[in-house]
A and B are shown apart, each in its own frame.
Chain A
Amino acid sequence: MFRLKNLRKSTKSNLITFGIVIGFYLVIQLLSALGMLSSSLSGQLVPICAYVILAISLNLTVGILGELSLGHAGFMSVGAFSGTIVWTTLYGQVPNWLGLLLAFVVGGAVAGLFGFIVGVPVLRLSGDYLAIVTLAFGEIVKNVMNACYLGYDSKGIHFSFKDAASMGMEADGTTIINGAIGITGIKKGSTFILGIILVILTLVVILNLINSRAGRAIKSIRDNEIAARSVGINITKYKLMAFITSAVFAGIAGVLYSLNYSSLVAKKFDYNTSILILVFVVLGGIGNIRGSVIAAALLTVLPEMLRSLNDYRMLIYAIVLILVMIFSQSPQVVAWRKRMVEMFRGRFSKRPQAKEVQ
């Protein structure tokens, strides 16, 4: 039956992706139990999860909706700041699990709200405009958060864009955001297992979305906007749906990232971070969610692993990027890989194999 085979194929592919994530978790746990986990790698575990979520969510915009967004770090930033504010103000007053839950919900919701605000005017246009506006959005968020002072005392909340003194707080007031210094003294809330749970949650939501009625509508807009409209797709609605979902998960990743460190500064979420996430997506394969997961994990670890090479580190990193591009994209290499795969299949099994269509 065609129908069953088709359903099974997409389910099977998704199961492999989940298997990779869970396998990664088990390997790390095993290494940790055996005492073989280096401290530099164990410090990278939560950032890996955060970057994986960022890459998956950006792939929804770039690969599935087909719009180039260069401001993913901006959504990460607004999510990180709002979630961290919730976490630090509630810390000690409510149970930790509730504080964490609220931090992630608020972080995701605020990022989603910004996705809506940026998306409504911009998604009516397309192509380069979206890239330019999202790029500007990321920079605006960075600069605004960099100059933002926020605190509270017995009289209530104080806020300023000038400096800490002009908030006019009482001596016993608490500063939450201190301009360029950002938020300091954050109690660690993120753990590796929490990161893995969030990665799986992101995968479930985004993979299920892609393989549903709404996901097909989003993909049809990518493939041919005029035809999509002609078959009755409300393109503004589905573009916004993809864009906001993408922003929500960027915000959640931002909260996960910031609760892993003791301080949070706006400068972290700059243009370079947006491009870094885009590199994960492009290298993993545009529209390929599993590729994003693998690329984000490997490329986050790689610079750390190359640290012993000192000055040559970024050089090697760049060469690896170029080699992966050639290996996965160059038509000759792709054809050569196909020949190799078929040769191996012919050698090890007599059964005719269905061709993989990627």
Chain B
Amino acid sequence: MALLEVSNLGIAFGGLQAVAQLDLKIEKGHLYGLIGPNGAGKTTVFNMLTGVYTPTEGNIVLDGKDITGKSPDLISKAGVARTFQNIRLFNDMTVLDNVKVALHNQIRYNMWTGILRLPSYREKEHQMNREALRLLKIFDLDKEASLKASQLPYGKQRKLEIARALATNPKLLLLDEPAAGMNPNETEELMNTVRSVRDQFGIAILLIEHDMNFVMGICEEITVLDYGRVIAHGDGKAIRNNPKVIAAYLGGD
């Protein structure tokens, strides 16, 4: 059974059908791409998968559990993590604290332990610091741990978002345009990072990206969306030669 099974998913905003009849199957440990022209509904799909929007039809099953229409915090607990197209970090908090917030449901102690500084407070905080620094190290951010997130350069902010998403211990990671605004060198480096994350954590990754070299370079399967509907599905080669995809991107009849 697949890790994520999406069937007949759709959402309408008033009279506008943004996404319709979307079927998606994601296997553990695989890399998937979701592409399509601007306004095709890619981010809307992410928003439905993470509970930001409630789908008007269809359902989403993660690891055998129905998570359709659940709230974002519950879906995060169930094992879906994401990054955002326009970076959303906790800007006034340190880089370390950004990751520690995401460890919220992994390493727990209650409010009173914190207020009264019970012995387990110190122990759990140390555990959080260790775990957060370990994640930051993977993205080469451990030296910037005490800086505020807003002080990081753009490329590192993108990396911090991925580190933060991984801290929630996800089964499925959704990356929304991770290479946006990066130069070719940074993109190359990011490709390696994404691959190594998949290998190290053994999780499934679904990503939205406009950089075709990036998508073709690392995704094993690609789904193409246009006007909220799937127009093609397959590996890089099949997608590249699909006339429907070419028409959607270049315009045709």
Chain A residues with a Cβ under 8 A of chain B: 2-3, 5-7, 204-205, 208-209, 211-217, 219-220, 222-224, 226-235, 241, 287, 357
Q: Is the CB of A214 within 8 A of B114?
A: yes
B135 to chain A, nearest CB (A): 13
Contacts A220-B93, A223-B91, A231-B164 known; list 8 others, CB within 8 Å.
A205-B115, A214-B114, A219-B92, A223-B89, A228-B90, A229-B73, A232-B76, A235-B73
Which residues on the B side are within 8 Å of A357 (C-beta)? 148
B86 to chain A, nearest CB (A): 10
Chain B residues with a Cβ under 8 A of chain A: 50-52, 71-73, 76-77, 81-82, 84, 88-93, 96-97, 100-102, 104-105, 107-109, 111, 113-117, 121, 124-126, 128-129, 133, 142, 145-146, 148, 164-165, 167-168
A271 to B50: give the CA distance in the assembly, Å.
42
A232 to B100: give the CA distance in the assembly, Å.
12
A-B interface contact total, Cβ < 8 Å: 114
19 A-B pairs within 8 Å (CB atoms) are namely: A3-B126, A3-B133, A6-B145, A204-B115, A212-B121, A213-B104, A219-B92, A219-B93, A223-B89, A223-B91, A230-B81, A230-B165, A231-B76, A231-B101, A231-B104, A231-B168, A241-B111, A287-B92, A357-B148
Which residues on the B side are within 8 Å of A223 (C-beta)? 89-93
> Most B CB atoms within 10 A — which of A209, A214, A216, A226?
A216
Take A230-B76, A231-B102, A357-B148 as given contacts and tell me if A213 and B108 are in contact as well, using a CB distance cutoff of 8 Å: yes
Which residues on the A side are within 8 Å of B121 (C-beta)? 212
B172 to chain A, nearest CB (A): 13
Which residues on the B side are within 8 Å of A230 (C-beta)? 50, 52, 72, 76, 81-82, 84, 88, 165
Indicate which residue in B52, B93, B115, B148 contacts A212 across the interface (CB closer than 8 Å): B115
Q: Is the CB of B101 within 8 A of A220?
A: yes
Q: Is the CB of A3 within 8 A of B129?
A: yes
Q: Is the CB of B88 within 8 A of A226?
A: yes
Which residues on the B side are within 8 Å of A231 (C-beta)? 76, 81, 101-102, 104, 164-165, 167-168
Q: Is the CB of A219 within 8 A of B114?
A: no
B119 to chain A, nearest CB (A): 14
Q: Is the CB of A2 within 8 A of B91?
A: no
A96 to chain B, nearest CB (A): 27
> Most B CB atoms within 10 A — which of A214, A223, A231?
A231
Indicate which residue in B90, B114, B115, B128 contacts A227 across the interface (CB closer than 8 Å): B90
**3 A-B pairs closest in CB distance:** A212-B114, A232-B76, A223-B90
Q: Is the CB of A208 within 8 A of B101?
A: no
Q: Is the CB of B111 within 8 A of A214?
A: yes
A216 to B93: give the CA distance in the assembly, Å.
9
Which residues on the A side are within 8 Å of B100 (C-beta)? 213, 216
A217 to B109: give the CA distance in the assembly, Å.
12
A2 to B143: give the CA distance in the assembly, Å.
9
Which residues on the B side are within 8 Å of A2 (C-beta)? 133, 142, 145-146
A287 to B96: give the CA distance in the assembly, Å.
19
Take A205-B115, A208-B114, A214-B111 as given contacts and tell me if A227 and B76 are in contact as well, using a CB distance cutoff of 8 Å: no
Which residues on the B side are within 8 Å of A241 (C-beta)? 111
A212 to B81: give the CA distance in the assembly, Å.
23
Q: Is the CB of A215 within 8 A of B91?
A: no
A247 to chain B, nearest CB (A): 15
Which residues on the A side are within 8 Å of B88 (C-beta)? 224, 226-227, 230
Which residues on the B side are within 8 Å of A213 (C-beta)? 100, 104, 107-109, 114, 124, 128
Q: Is the CB of B90 within 8 A of A226?
A: no
Take A216-B101, A226-B88, A241-B111 as given contacts and tell me if A232 and B168 are in contact as well, using a CB distance cutoff of 8 Å: yes
A221 to chain B, nearest CB (A): 9
Which residues on the B side are within 8 Å of A204 (C-beta)? 115
User: Smallest CB-CB separation from B78: which chain A residue?
Assistant: A232
Which residues on the B side are within 8 Å of A209 (C-beta)? 111, 114-115
Q: Is the CB of B102 within 8 A of A232?
A: yes
Q: Is the CB of B146 within 8 A of A220?
A: no
B241 to chain A, nearest CB (A): 36
Q: Is the CB of B73 within 8 A of A232?
A: yes
A325 to chain B, nearest CB (A): 20
User: Smallest CB-CB separation from A66: which chain B residue?
Assistant: B92
User: Smallest CB-CB separation from B150: which chain A residue?
Assistant: A223
A233 to B105: give the CA distance in the assembly, Å.
8
Q: Is the CB of A234 within 8 A of B73?
A: yes
A214 to B104: give the CA distance in the assembly, Å.
9
User: Smallest CB-CB separation from B169: which chain A residue?
Assistant: A232
Which residues on the B side are within 8 Å of A229 (C-beta)? 51-52, 71-73, 76
Which residues on the B side are within 8 Å of A212 (C-beta)? 109, 111, 113-115, 121
User: Smallest CB-CB separation from A241: which chain B residue?
Assistant: B111
> Most B CB atoms within 10 A — which of A6, A217, A227, A228?
A227
